[in-house]
Amino acid sequence: MSTTMTVQEAGRALADPTAYTDEARLHEALALLRREDPVHWVEAPGYRPFWAITKHEDVLEIERDNELFLSAPRPMLMTAELEELQRRQREQGMELRTLVHMDDPEHKKMRAITADWFKPRSLRRLEGRIRELARRHVDRMAELGGECDFVTDIAAQFPLYVILSVLGLPESDYGRMLTLTQELFGGADAELQRGDTPADTAAAIVDFFEYFNALTASRRANPTEDLASVIANARVDGKPLSTVHTASYYTIIATAGHDTTGSAIAGGLHALIEHPDQLARLKADPSLMPSAVEEMIRWVTPVKQFTRTAAADTEIRGVRIAEGQSVLLSYPSANRDEEVFDDPFRFDVGRDPNKHLAFGFGVHYCLGVRLAKMEVRIFFEELLPRLESIELAGEPRLIATTFVGGLKHLPIRYALKG
């Protein structure tokens, strides 16, 4: 792959939200780093420096060693200004402290609270409800008359309905949850952000806390059979969860539990439109659906990065990483690593093996991975048998982000049976 950018420019792209709106530019940068400097020191304006880790093997090594590479105090890449704002929020007791912010033994104890809800036997109870919601949203596509913005009309809505019904939230609040999620994850996107300052992004966290604090009080007073009641009434080391822990737990499930899945569904459909041979192949052979789901998730990679901080001096590929320095794990890069994936820029619904890292690895492997895959699978099982034709009806647009995201608009034109 020819390139006109320098390695330094490629590294800085990882800290540039606009780079993630241009997949050609992003993957040009990532390929350059993998090839020439896979453990690369990045100094980007507005950010504290970090090491960019772009090879699949190195991301795996770091994820495995959760005692050497810690989530705290910098679990994801943020501007220095936002890091300072969150430090002040911590002092005020309004810190967002989710599973992705924690290390063991705290992480293990907190993860155990909801682990049973995401095991196969529990998810089997949800399959009928998920299929009903998928069918409802495919019907909605039919009602829209053959043309829609698939992201805003369908892909952002379906997984939102799934996860919030699991939590037990009233449907009247779903719109508010969607807006807050977009403001939280889209803080760098001019269309989705609440405002253009870190304080505006932080205000979305405050709103989440206020909503979920009221939910905690309600479920403690009147427990039900939903996941919100499990979280509200959980005890760790014999003590109830703090206000910060309950609100943070709800926030990560309510946001990551639908935003990433919606990105996978939208990006998966876009990939099928752009690769009509693979769409025809999948329609002709529905037994490929499980591998197609994995390929959609690899292709999109909704979570762009997490960061880890070295607890002691160490080395990666012979490069010295000093205690206290941060490493950024680039999942889009790992999922296009030429040493791991045969022809990684080919979308292949039958790809096998598919050792993608879109859900992370090790102790922080995504808690909701089975639910996410089930939702993607069921949605396409409902859509594809009814799909007679489909094409783009406008230009797809991606979210400006450095953390979580995918398509924010996907205009399509289609014909459905029934």
What integer pLDDT is reported at residue 175 of this predicted model? 83
pLDDT more than 90, % of the chain:
74
Look at strands 326-330 and 50-53 and give their pairing.
Answer: parallel
Cα separation, 341 vs 265, in Å, equals 22
> What are the residue ranges in the chain where pLDDT is below 50?
1-2
What integer pLDDT is reported at residue 149 of this predicted model? 97
HSE-CB for 220 with a 13 A CA cutoff:
16
Q: Where are the alpha helices (DSSP H) in 72-197?
A: 80-91, 106-111, 120-143, 150, 158-167, 174-185
Cα separation, 5 vs 66, in Å, equals 34
Cα separation, 27 vs 344, in Å, equals 11
Q: Please spell the DSSP secondary structure of 305-339, one letter per residue.
A: EEEEEESS-EEETTEEE-TT-EEEEEHHHHTT-TT
Q: Is the four-CA dihedral 196, 202, 205, 207 of positive or negative sign?
A: negative
- Domains annotated for the chain, with CATH where assigned, are 7-416 (1.10.630.10)
Only one residue has tokens 């924690």, namely 102
What integer pLDDT is reported at residue 2 of this predicted model? 47
What integer pLDDT is reported at residue 45 of this predicted model? 94
What integer pLDDT is reported at residue 1 of this predicted model? 43
Rounded CA Rg of the chain? 21
Cα separation, 80 vs 299, in Å, equals 30
Residues 6+ positions from 123 with CB-CB distance below 8 Å? 370, 371, 374
pLDDT digits (tens, 9 = 90+) for 334-369: 999 999 999 999 999 999 999 999 999 999 999 999
Task: Pick the closest to residue 110 from 101, 120, 119, 123 (CA basis).
Answer: 101
What integer pLDDT is reported at residue 207 of this predicted model? 83
The tokens describing 405, both together, are 């995201």
What integer pLDDT is reported at residue 176 of this predicted model? 82
Asked if residues 228 and 215 have their Cβ atoms less than 8 Å apart, the reply is: yes
Cα separation, 317 vs 312, in Å, equals 16
Cα separation, 110 vs 108, in Å, equals 6
Q: What is the mean pLDDT of the chain?
A: 92
Task: Pick the closest to residue 385 from 300, 293, 279, 291 (CA basis).
Answer: 279
pTM: 0.94
The tokens describing 146, both together, are 């053959």
pLDDT digits (tens, 9 = 90+) for 56-101: 999 999 999 999 999 999 999 999 988 888 778 777 766 778 899 9
What integer pLDDT is reported at residue 154 of this predicted model? 97
The tokens describing 191, both together, are 């269309």
What integer pLDDT is reported at residue 363 of this predicted model? 95
What integer pLDDT is reported at residue 3 of this predicted model? 58
DSSP state of 100: G
